[in-house]
Amino acid sequence: MNQNIKIRDLEINPNHWYVVARSSEVKTQPLGVTLWNKPIILFRDNQEKIHALEDRCPHRQVKLSHGKIIAGLIECAYHGWQFNALGKCVKIPYLAENQKLPHCQIQNYPVQELDGFIWLFLGENSTQTQPLGIPEWDHLNYIATVSLIHCQAHYSFVIENLMDMYHGHLHQNWQAWTDAVLEKIDESPDQIDVQYQAQSYYKIDKIWSISQLFFPALRQLHPEPLTVSYIYPHWVSTLGKDFKIYCLFCPVSLTETKAYLIHFTSLHSFWRLHKLPIPFRRFLKNKLFGSAQKLLDGLVEQDIKMIEEEQQAYQNNPEQKGYEFNRSLASVQKLILHQASLS
């Protein structure tokens, strides 16, 4: 149990790219986010390029995210000090002629906008690694739905929930699979791949198949391979050929985690659809965005309740012993320990 106590108190490895927001969340006004206890402001310049700075005005230490964007600069709401994308103060509106700008500098962070999300790097050398790619985001054969996981719990509880396919029992009418059987675990210093065999409730092979997402009575139980992967610090899953799911992590603190769950429904089986003009296919993809929202939000709500109860139970009694029969969770904890040791 000593290892479990350490797991719940571990920090993140900052030398990875984390997702802090969706691209659509950062528009004309700045957005304040938090990644592992660091308040950060996201904003766009005149060319719509995304930037990330420490969310702190060095004048009175208030949040810059209270301010607004003026000609590509971030202006503090308190006294109107303005800062450029590098975090340098470039203007103070009431500065006298005989006064000079202070040599104050707030930290800027490497940031990328990729596949519909804002990725941020806290570590030392951002060129040593790249964000996890999501090729399905722009692919015309995949319909996306995004749900936010925001829970008061350590990130290890969230990833253990995602890797444990035995918990389908929790979801009842929301679940997409049942009767999972763990068949194989592959481990590396950066990744764990777990293969299950399961019974899937959905088969997207006919044009009316999408209706299964809305009407449970139409679901067809059939065997499918179910694979879940912890590609530190994120998670990927596939259920047969019809569904792929990502979970992109933004650990906020030791007891708070945000993550974006992205569900993709494949349209590969609809070969006639592939012959239609690309503009129409893109219109269809955009029109169907969020088609699995009720399903995904239902799953997330139930998972959050259990995850937060686990966190609370740990805080109430960190010495309490638990019992675990899913071998993959020992691999998850081993990987988290290894990555934390590299931070």
CA-based nearest residue to 242, from 261, 260, 226 = 226
- Tell me how far apart the alpha carbons of residues 231 and 187 are, in angstroms, rounded to a whole number: 10
Q: What are phi and psi of 138, to 5 degrees?
A: -100, -5
Residue 16 confidence (pLDDT): 96
Q: Residue 1 has what pLDDT? A: 35
**Confidence category of residue 116, pLDDT binned at 50, 70, 90:** very high
Check if the beta carbon of residue 77 is closer than 8 Å to that of residue 68.
Answer: yes
Residue 229, C-beta contacts closer than 8 angstroms, at least 6 positions apart: 191, 192, 193, 194, 235, 236, 237
Q: What mean pLDDT is predicted for residues 92-116?
A: 91
pLDDT in tens, 14-51: 999 999 999 999 998 999 999 999 999 999 988 999 99
Residue 193 class from Cβ within 10 Å (0-12 exposed, 13-18 middle, 19+ buried)?
middle
In this structure, what token pair is assigned to residue 129? 């690694």
Task: Locate the domains of the chain by residue range.
Answer: 17-121, 142-342
Tens of pLDDT, residues 190-249: 999 999 987 776 666 555 545 555 566 666 677 788 899 999 999 999 887 778 999 999
Which of these ranges, 25-39, 101-115, 170-184, 224-238, has the smallest mean pLDDT?
170-184
For residue 182, pLDDT beyond 60: yes
- The label of the residue with tokens 């986010």 reads 33
The backbone region for 186, taken as left when phi is positive above 0, alpha when psi lies in -120 to 50, beta otherwise, is beta
> How do residues 72-95 score in pLDDT, each as one tens digit?
899 999 999 999 999 999 999 998
Kindly report the CATH class assigned to 17-121: mainly beta
| Mean pLDDT in residue range 54-67 | 94
Residues 276-333 have pLDDT tens digits of 898 988 998 899 899 889 888 988 999 999 999 999 999 999 888 888 889 999 999 9
Side-chain-side CA neighbours of residue 86 (13 Å) = 6
> Lowest-confidence range among 61-70, 173-182, 286-295, 323-332?
173-182
Check if the beta carbon of residue 259 is closer than 8 Å to that of residue 149.
yes
Residue environment code for 120-138, b if the CB has 16+ CB neighbours within 10 A, otherwise e: bbbbeebeeeebbebebbe
> Is this prediction's pTM over 0.85?
yes
What is the SS3 string spanning the chain?
Answer: CHHHHHHHCCCCCCCCEEEEEEHHHCCCCCEEEEECCEEEEEEECCCCCEEEEECCCCCCCCCHHHCEEECCEEECCCCCCEECCCCEEEECCCCCCCCCCCCCECCECCEEEECCEEEEECCCCHHHCCCCCCHHHCCCCEEEEEEEEEECCCHHHHHHHHHCHHHHHHCHHHCCEEEEEEEEEEECCCEEEEEEEEEECCCCCCHHHHHHHCCHHHCCCEEEEEEEEEECCEEEEEECCCEEEEEEEEEEECCEEEEEEEEEEECCCCCCHHHCCHHHHHHHHHHCCCCCHHHHHHHHHHHHHHHHHHHHHHHHCCCCCCCCCCCHHHHHHHHHHHHHHCC
- Residue 239: what pLDDT? 83
| Residue 95 token pair | 């500065």
User: Has residue 2 got a pLDDT over 50?
Assistant: no
- What is the rounded average pLDDT of the residues 244-273? 91
Radius of gyration of the chain (CA): 23
CA gap 36, 45 in Å, rounded:
25
Q: Which fold has domain 142-342?
A: Naphthalene 1,2-dioxygenase Alpha Subunit; Chain A, domain 1 (3.90.380)
pLDDT at 297: 92
Please give the pLDDT value at position 14: 96
Q: How confident is the model at residue 113 (pLDDT cuts 50, 70, 90)?
A: very high
